[in-house]
């Protein structure tokens, strides 16, 4: 037998918390990126867009 009584509701809550934490860790590994990674990717995309816009030809409707 166990040394001391166990509250089943606390046991259930603890088990649910552990499962939620395990699921969150799996999701973070699968989908997560740090804030710095997101910012760097956004900056790279903006820099690329500006570079493309700078090389765009002017449209002359009379030509």
Please report the pLDDT score of residue 2 as a whole number.
Answer: 60
| Residue 5: per-residue pLDDT | 85
- Tracing tokens 């997101």 back to the chain, one arrives at 38
b/e for 40-63, b at 16 or more Cβ within 10 A?
A: eeeeeeeeeeeeeeeeeeeeeeee
Sequence ranges of the domains in the chain: 9-54
Q: What is the pLDDT of residue 59?
A: 72
pTM of the model: 0.46
CA distance 18 to 33: 22
Residue 41 makes CB contacts below 8 A (sequence gap 6+) with: 33
Angle (CA) 34-22-6 rounded to 5° is 140
pLDDT digits (tens, 9 = 90+) for 17-51: 999 999 999 988 888 888 898 899 999 999 999 88
């Amino acid at each position: 037998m166990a040394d001391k009584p166990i509250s089943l509701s606390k046991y259930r809550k603890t088990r649910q918390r552990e499962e939620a934490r395990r699921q969150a860790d799996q999701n973070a590994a699968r989908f997560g990126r740090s804030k710095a990674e997101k910012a760097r990717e956004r900056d790279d995309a903006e820099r690329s867009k500006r570079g493309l816009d700078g090389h765009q030809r002017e449209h002359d409707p009379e030509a």
